[in-house]
């Protein structure tokens, strides 16, 4: 009998994602992959997987699964997210692994603090790789489960029939809050297409993420960003995090599934260290931007890699008293520890 | 125009040769792309050629924008390889009836007969400038100037897969059903993108394409052969 997760409810937009599909942008294939790659890698580390193992990305509202395997070790990574386990919906926190028996029902609760969270299963989600990646790209029906988001009744195959015998792991220190910090950008590559006032407004004003937000990008409401002359450029390539401004003067922040090329000027590009922060923001949230140099952005990227490595190196076993069975994970001190440990 | 280096965040560097759609610029872009691919600079993740610039994606853990800029500047001095060849693809297109919903409109707006539009469109060997918008979507040019029209004022929500289209100075094929604002003058029965193939996108930047008019009966038989994996798109090497 094959191991898997039976999808009882799919959530708003739950897809298989990994670290993406680089190498094919020259033929028009977006990189895709997790909106918040930092949390994806932590989720994998918590269940003992290599960093780029396929996991489930959950956006806005969470799915419900029934474990259809001998046992399944899972870990949820997401600011403010939690699992509700069993018919009694006992809460279990994010940022730690937990092993569930066959037939156990788990619901992913995204919470109100983040748009995204990541559910990793020991061994990984077992879907075939397309162009070297399991990441789902819905627009071209590539990757994941038949190239689409989960539906009720789907069976998510798992690579392992049962969890390995070892201690559960948890984060030893909380993920630092990122609530109101400005999103750092490198100006350009086409900031010269905008008036000085527009660049100043872009860096000085507050923007609100509109309801038009998905894995391709988010439209931002805020001051009108005036182009100097034309808002139409000869199409060129786009990198994830680029902020393009069409004729409406309202910017669009491009995310993992963005088109590889486009014909609007890009006023700035979000630095890679802050892309996971953007991936956690929800429609209605506000964003502010602050400019840094390329050199600073590169250093921040390397610092972020070191920070992730430190989190992984400092994972600690969950005390034995909490691992006897699932119910013991619900003890009050652990729940409060989880809540205070988050943003 | 002087080559410009433009940072696009901390993971991509744009090498910009100009701001027009022009064969000479495209050749510069594609030549640098070939040099970069063969020189395998450390930290380069992938390169994306477009009409007038090359985007170089890099890993800031392995290299820096400043180091890449220096390395790329030295590659720019290399002379073109006179032996370089490219591939000419002969792409079958049915320009008839329901396969060509905008042919009549294009004929009206250009003052040509529908048959003249088809003859003009299928005469040139088009240059594939770049792929983008969708996996395998080729931007090809240049169209005969008689066929140049702006995009449709009202884009369609659903353009069928395989649609052969024109807008501005370019022609393109939609690999997937998608929204689109170009004028649809035919459909090809071949598949432009298939991730299971060793070469997922049929066309690559720098390739040449010539369209071969076919009738609906040929369309049906080619489509059948494509579906059973028995159709090879005719192609031949040609000098650049």
**Which chain B residues contact residue A135 at CB under 8 A?**
none
Contact A163, A71 (CB under 8 A): yes
Residues of chain B with CATH 3.30.1360.40: 4-75
Q: Please, which residues have CB within 8 angstroms of residue A300's CB and are 6 or more apart in sequence?
A: A184, A271, A273, A274, A292, B10
Instruction: Please state, in angstroms and rounded to a whole number, the distance separating the CA atoms of residues B103 and B10.
Output: 46
User: Which pLDDT band holds residue A329 (cuts at 50, 70, 90)?
Assistant: very low
Tokens describing residue B59: 């890993």
Q: Chain A contacts of B53, Cβ < 8 Å?
A: 236-237
Residue A177: pLDDT band (50, 70, 90) is low
Residues 6+ apart with CB under 8 A from B170: B21, B129, B139, B140, B141, B142, B143
CA atoms of B137 and B135, how far apart (whole Å): 6
CA atoms of A37 and A206, how far apart (whole Å)? 25
Give domain limits for chain A. Answer: 4-172+316-340, 183-302
- How much is the pTM? 0.93
Question: How far is B24 from A93, CA to CA, in rounded Å?
Answer: 59
Q: Using CA atoms, how far apart are residues A339 and A334, in angstroms rounded to an integer?
A: 9
B8 closest CB neighbour out of A140, A242, A261: A242
Fold assignment, A183-302: Cyclophilin (2.40.100)
B34 contacts in A (CB within 8 Å)?
Answer: none
Separation in Å, CA of A50 to nearest CA in chain B: 19
| pLDDT, average across residues A303-328 | 79
Do the bridges between strand B208-214 and strand B85-94 make them parallel or antiparallel, or are there none, so unpaired?
Answer: parallel
A236 and B193 within 8 Å at the Cβ level: the answer is: no
Has residue A330 got a pLDDT over 80?
Answer: no
User: In this complex, which of A131, A242, A294 lies closest to B10 when CB atoms are compared?
Assistant: A294
Domain B85-239 indexed as CATH 2.40.100.10: yes
- DSSP for B84-133 reads -EEEEEEEEEE-SGGG-TTHHHHHHHHT--HHHHHHHHTSS-EEEEEE-S
Q: Do B137 and A239 touch (CB under 8 A)?
A: no
**Residue contact A142–B195, C-beta within 8 A:** yes
Tokens of B43: 């930290």
Question: Who's near A258: CB < 8 A, 6+ residues apart?
Answer: A30, A216, A217, A238, A240, A242
CA A51 to chain CA mean position, Å: 14
Dist CA B237 CA B233 (whole Å): 13
At residue B57, the pLDDT reads 98
Among chain A, residues having any CB pair with chain B shorter than 8 Å are 22-29, 130-131, 139-140, 142, 185-186, 188-190, 233-237, 239-242, 259-262, 266, 269-273, 294-295, 297-298, 300-302, 305
Closest CB to B10: pick one of A190, A242, A297. Answer: A297
The Cα-based distances of A22 to A26, A31, A60, A133, A270 in angstroms read: 10, 5, 26, 9, 18
The pLDDT tens digits of the residues spanning A35-82 come to 999 999 999 999 999 999 999 999 999 999 999 999 999 999 999 999
Could you read off the pLDDT of A245-254 as tens digits, one per residue?
998 999 999 9
Q: Are B43 and B59 in contact (CB under 8 A)?
A: yes
CA dist., res. A210 & res. A81, Å (int): 22
- Are A264 and A245 in contact by the 8 Å Cβ rule? The answer is yes
Tokens for A242, please give them.
């680029």
Per CB-CB distance under 8 Å, the chain B contacts of A183 are none
Q: Where in chain B is the domain with CATH 2.40.100.10?
A: 85-239
Question: What's the farthest any 2 CA atoms get from each other in chain A?
Answer: 67
Q: Is A105 exposed, middle or buried (0-12, 13-18, 19+ CB in 10 A)?
A: middle
**pLDDT value of residue A319:** 83
Q: pLDDT at position A230, please?
A: 82
Question: What does residue B220 show for φ and ψ, rounded to 5 degrees?
Answer: -60, -40
Out of A131, A236, A259, whose CB is closest to B133? A259
Segment A77-97 shows an average pLDDT of 93
Confidence class for position A328, pLDDT limits 50, 70, 90: very low
Average pLDDT, chain A: 91
Rounded CA gap, A282 and A211, in Å? Answer: 9
How are beta strands B208-214 and B126-131 bridged, if at all?
Answer: antiparallel
3-state per-residue secondary structure call for A227-294: ECCCCCCCCEECCCCEEECCCCCCCEEECCCCCCEECCCEEEEECHHHHHHHHCCCCCCEECEEECCH
Nearest to B10 among A24, A26, A186 (CB): A186
Q: How far apart are CA A115 and CA A81, in angstroms?
A: 10
For residue A262, pLDDT beyond 80: yes
Inter-chain CB proximity A27 and B10 less than 8 Å: no
Any idea which residue has 């853990």 for tokens?
B61
Q: What would the pLDDT profile of B14-25 be if each residue is shown by its tens digit?
A: 999 999 999 999
- Rounded Cα distance, B18 and B2, in Å: 8
Distance from CA of B227 to the nearest CA of A (A): 18
Alpha-carbon gap: B113 to the closest alpha carbon of chain A (Å):
31
Q: Do B19 and A233 touch (CB under 8 A)?
A: yes
Give B118-175 pLDDT, tens digit per residue.
999 999 999 999 999 999 999 999 999 999 999 988 889 999 999 999 999 999 999 9
Distance CA B87, CA B93 (A): 19
Residues with Cβ within 8 Å of A115's Cβ and at least 6 positions away in sequence, in order, are A35, A59, A60, A279, A280, A281, A282, A283
Q: What is the DSSP letter of A319?
A: P
When scoring B10, B19, B47, B150 by the number of chain A Cβ atoms within 10 A, the one with the most, hence best to mutate, is B10
The third-level CATH classification (topology) of the domain covering B4-75 is: Gyrase A; domain 2 (3.30.1360)
The C-alpha angle A59, A64, A67, rounded to 5 degrees, equals: 125
Name, in order, each residue with C-beta under 8 angstroms of A325's C-beta and a sequence gap of 6 or more.
Answer: none
Hey, is A77 helix, strand or coil? strand
Spell out which residues of chain B touch residue A230, defining contact as CB-CB under 8 Å.
none
Predicted-assembly ipTM surpassing the 0.90 threshold: yes
Query: pLDDT tens digits, residue range A195-238?
Result: 999 999 999 999 999 998 999 999 999 999 999 988 888 999 99
Instruction: Answer whether A188 sits within 8 Å of B8, measured CB to CB.
Output: yes
Flag if A29 and B205 touch (Cβ within 8 Å).
no
């Amino acid at each position: 009998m094959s191991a898997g997760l039976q999808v009882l409810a799919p959530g708003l937009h739950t897809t298989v994602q990994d670290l993406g599909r680089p190498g094919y942008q020259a033929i028009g294939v977006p990189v895709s992959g997790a909106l918040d790659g930092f949390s994806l890698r932590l989720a994998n580390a918590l269940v003992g997987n290599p960093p780029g193992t396929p996991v489930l990305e959950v956006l806005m509202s969470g799915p419900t699964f029934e474990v259809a395997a001998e046992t399944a070790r899972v870990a949820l990574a997401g600011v403010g997210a939690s699992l509700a386990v069993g018919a009694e919906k006992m809460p279990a926190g994010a940022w730690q692994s937990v092993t569930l028996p066959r037939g156990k029902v788990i619901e992913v609760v995204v919470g109100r603090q983040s748009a995204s969270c990541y559910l990793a299963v020991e061994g990984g989600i077992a879907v075939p790789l397309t162009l070297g990646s399991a990441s789902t790209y819905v627009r071209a029906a590539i990757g994941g489960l038949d190239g689409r988001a989960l539906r009720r009744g789907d069976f998510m195959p798992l690579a392992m029939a049962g969890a390995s015998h070892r201690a559960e792991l948890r984060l030893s220190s909380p993920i630092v809050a990122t609530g109101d910090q400005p999103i750092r950008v490198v100006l350009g590559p086409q900031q010269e297409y905008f008036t000085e006032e527009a660049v100043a407004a872009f860096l000085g004003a507050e923007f609100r993420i509109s309801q038009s937000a998905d894995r391709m990008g988010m439209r931002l409401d805020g001051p009108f960003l005036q182009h100097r002359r034309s808002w139409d450029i000869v199409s060129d390539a786009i990198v994830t995090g680029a902020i393009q401004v069409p004729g409406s003067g309202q910017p669009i922040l491009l995310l993992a599934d963005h088109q590889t090329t486009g014909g609007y000027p890009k006023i700035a590009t979000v630095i890679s260290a802050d892309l996971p922060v953007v991936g956690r923001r929800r429609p209605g949230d506000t964003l502010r931007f602050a400019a840094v140099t390329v050199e600073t952005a590169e250093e921040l990227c390397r610092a972020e890699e070191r920070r992730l490595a430190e989190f992984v190196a400092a994972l600690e076993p969950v005390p034995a008293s909490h691992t006897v069975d699932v119910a013991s994970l619900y003890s009050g001190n652990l729940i409060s520890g989880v809540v205070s440990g988050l943003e | 125009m002087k080559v410009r280096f433009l940072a696009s965040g901390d993971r991509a560097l744009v090498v910009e040769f100009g701001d027009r759609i022009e064969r000479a610029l495209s050749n510069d872009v594609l030549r640098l792309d070939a040099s970069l691919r063969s020189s395998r600079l450390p930290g380069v993740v992938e390169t994306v050629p477009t009409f007038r610039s090359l985007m170089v994606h890099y890993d800031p853990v392995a290299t820096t924008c400043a180091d890449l800029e220096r390395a790329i500047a030295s590659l720019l001095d290399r002379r073109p390889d006179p032996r370089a060849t490219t591939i000419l693809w002969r792409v079958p297109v049915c320009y008839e009836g329901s396969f060509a919903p905008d042919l009549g409109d294009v004929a009206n707006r250009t003052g040509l007969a529908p048959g003249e539009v088809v003859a003009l469109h299928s005469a040139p060997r088009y240059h594939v400038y770049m792929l983008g918008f969708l996996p395998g979507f080729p931007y090809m040019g240049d169209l005969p100037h008689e066929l140049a029209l702006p995009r449709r004022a009202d884009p369609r929500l659903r353009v069928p897969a395989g649609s052969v289209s024109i807008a501005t100075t370019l022609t393109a094929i939609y690999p997937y059903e998608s929204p689109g604002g170009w004028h649809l003058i035919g459909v090809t029965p071949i598949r432009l993108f298939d991730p299971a193939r060793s070469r997922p996108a049929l066309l690559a930047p720098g390739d040449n394409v010539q369209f071969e008019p076919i009738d609906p009966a040929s369309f049906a038989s080619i489509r059948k052969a494509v579906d059973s994996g028995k159709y090879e798109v005719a192609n031949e090497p040609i000098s650049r």
